Structure 1
């Protein structure tokens, strides 16, 4: 069963004007839903640069590729919403078969709930009075809201219980016990710890419902050498579940087993699919970056998966995010500057990569040998060939590395067709 699509109509009524990054300064206020009527085109310089755009054709392509993979392997998906924090894109993901949406913080949960997401996995620890009470209040007010969070210690369980002492719960909080890796991020490290946490949850059935196991393989030490640690980690998880007393989950309609970020989801899926217990198992991936992929870290991870004969991923996502900027200065041979910087593009997992050049009045030109080697807040430093024919005013299209830290720099992102006509727009809520 998938989660129902959500109501994004209120977002389309949002008024934009020249104060909005990416909107021409002289534009009178208008509703986002009317943006296609503006007949703007990026290559005509109708919109100010820098500008991050979403390619409609590649968004659709990625959605269908992943849906085919999920269907062929009997997998479920709760894409990580932190990647885009765009309810409009959540809606598209749900319409393409997502079972739910994943959040990393209660604030993200609140945004998702505001627009009607009815099934959410908080792939993180639920800690603190305000977070606990707001979550329980939402569950109490909406019987149709399904929620699951990660728990990895008895201390965390007791922290939640302390804040629930004077609170009436209409139903228990859904809990997934998180298994971690030594030297990695959160999660219990050993089988004995996992059993103790499960026992503590089962001892408080009015407050908690043990629903399965959560994991994240992307922060395991040693991945810079090979993907082998992912296999070992997945095997540990299967071993822990296999040794869990049947009584811990015998009353469940299904056992949720969730992992799978954006780089090793195929390994996790293959390992998790081997689990056989007395109740149905839902193998739930939480990949988020597939929706746009990128020209950097995500693309590299996908290529490595396809080239590894032991992996189970043979498809290819297409990068749907592009950032356009102007050449603003060529102060010396071999050095250029673009009108974008840390405020506009990610830099945590690699710098942007110029791959297209457009000169107004002349058309597309060869971008030449070039690379961005540094960024300031609003400048990108570009190393050029000394005889480069770049000119001030040329429009440079760059790919990015790491969608999660690209979306958070833009409140408004135009959606364009392959001719760069603006046909739609999305808003983000970071």
Structure 2
């Protein structure tokens, strides 16, 4: 358990204290102003395109952030596992979109309990075998399970691959009295290559066409079925396909990006630049909101600083941590130009620095994580801070 977690459990005061002077480091901080900007920006984007927003909660698994997203207008929260759904529900999230297959009796039991307690839950299916197992389990308990058909792509992840598999799955659901078909789901993030934009547009069109075909066939239990896709990279292309009057009148389009909430300085910065290149009229920006703070603990040789932060503290995928600023209590932050992460070990980061760099033992360095999703899960709690690096809130995570 981290020292911050011990302080939290003992009720020791952290709120109002200085991140640089009063908090045991390393620690992960979320800057309040960029956070508020990002939540408002993406909600406004969804609203402007006639879509609902169900942010992917697996990114943060931080209920305090879920609440902010819901208060800003989010339709629900997307999760990836039954355990994540249970954690979200226990913290007040009533509408749970599980963008994953529900398999395994213990996981089904968790979901059955949530449904029995009033959760508005749905998951995805892509096989008759899964449908049969779900129908048997939920039927024995007198419950109805809402599901979305997942459409996949060759070489991608889960999801039906062709029309014959789709027809077989629709027939299997129709024959399962405990299963209610409520929509169509897709995941476009694994579509890449030279013609990714055209392929994603085609895939989004396939989602919409499939939805219309199933509506015309009377396959849905819901009068307004769901159509959902969109991560934080290609959300504009999905929104573009969903932004149709006839679609909004007959169904519920749902976008589910996750990493936008804290953004970053590389992966999602570059993705947003591409979005804005496709849509130059788009106003405002997402802003990096997350950083890990750690001490310089050794300067063992010229050109090398060793920072007390490692793989247990910050993501190294797809990029090594990005050094941002040097911090000293009572002094303005100083940008770390010409510095780069050379290597990351369990508890140490090797930072290549200019030989004349103004770094001292005990200085604090802040780092960004490209693709922040894999940083949150390393922490029992994250700290919301203001521009002066005072702690505003301790936000527990639930991975």
Distance of 1:50 and 1:425 partners within structure 2: 15
Q: Structure 1 135/296 Cα, relative in aligned 2: closer, same or farther at 3 Å?
A: same
In structure 1, the residue matched to 2:379 is 410
Q: Give the 3-state SS of the residue equivalent to 1:228 in structure 2.
A: helix
1:259, distance to aligned residue in structure 2 (A): 0.4
Partner of 1:173: 145
Measured at CA, do residues 403 and 238 of structure 1 come closer, stay the same or move farther in structure 2, by a change above 3 Å?
same
Scaled by the length of structure 1, what TM-score is found? 0.87
Shift of 1:284: 0.2
Matched, 1:209 2:180: yes
Cross-structure match for 1:287: 257
SS at match of 1:189: coil
- SS of the aligned residue for 2:28 comes to strand
Deviation (angstroms), 1:243: 3.1
Q: Could you tell me which residue of structure 1 aligns to residue 304 of structure 2?
A: 335
For the structure 1 residues 387 and 235, does the alpha-carbon distance in structure 2 shift closer, same or farther, using more than 3 Å as the test? same
**For residue 2 of structure 2, what is the aligned residue in structure 1?**
20
How much has 1:292 moved relative to structure 2?
1.0
Per residue, is there more helix in 1 or in 2? 2
CA root-mean-square deviation: 2.3
1:125 and 1:29 map into 2 onto residues whose CA distance is 35
**Greater RCO structure (CA 8 Å; 6+ sep):** 2
Structure 1 residues 276 and 414: alpha-carbon distance in aligned structure 2, compared to 1, 3 A threshold: same
> 1:91 corresponds to which residue?
67
Q: What SS does the corresponding residue of 2:22 show, helix, strand or coil?
A: coil
Aligned to 1:368: 337
Note the alpha carbon deviations across 1:102-135, whole angstroms, 9 max, x for none: 1100110111122232110110001111112332
> Could you tell me which residue of structure 2 aligns to residue 347 of structure 1?
316
Q: Please tell me whether residue 326 in structure 1 is matched to residue 298 in structure 2.
A: no
Asked if structure 1 preserves the Cα contact closer than 8 Å seen for 2:183 and 2:220, the reply is: no
- Indicate which of 144, 148, 168 corresponds to 2:122: 148
Question: Cα distance, 1:30 vs. partner?
Answer: 4.2
**Contact 2:229/2:254 (CA < 8 Å) preserved in 1?**
yes
Q: Is 1:132–2:108 an aligned residue pair?
A: yes
Gaps of 5+ in 1: 1-18
Find 2:369's aligned residue among 400, 409, 416.
400
How far apart, in 1, do the equivalents of 2:314 and 2:2 lie? 17
- The 3 A distance-change label for structure 1 pair 193 and 275 is farther
Aligned partners of 1:82 and 1:103 also within 8 Å: yes
Question: In 2 relative to 1, CA 351–277 (structure 1 residues): closer, same or farther, beyond 3 Å?
Answer: closer
Verify the 8 A CA contact 1:21 1:411 in the aligned structure 2.
Answer: no
Change (3 A) 1:386 1:277: closer
**Matched residues in 2 for 1:178 and 1:28: separation?**
41
In structure 2, the residue matched to 1:192 is 164
How many residues are matched? 399
Report the secondary structure of 2:383's partner residue: strand
2:397 equivalent in structure 1: 428
> d(CA) in 2 for partners of 1:29 and 1:134?
27
After superposition, what is the alpha-carbon deviation per residue over 1:2-52, rounded to whole angstroms, capped at 9, x for unaligned? xxxxxxxxxxxxxxxxx53446x8x696438x542xx31123x21122111
Matched, 1:242 2:216: no
Q: Secondary structure at the match of 2:209?
A: helix
Contact 1:128/1:160 (CA < 8 Å) preserved in 2? no
Residues 342, 378 of structure 1: 8 Å contact kept = yes
1:334 Cα shift?
1.4
Correspondence for 1:307 among 245, 260, 277: 277
Quick check: 1:31 aligned with 2:31? no
Structure 2 alignment gaps of length 5 or more: none
Q: For 1:239 and 1:312, how far apart are their aligned partners in 2?
A: 28
Could you tell me how far 1:342 is from its partner in structure 2? 0.2
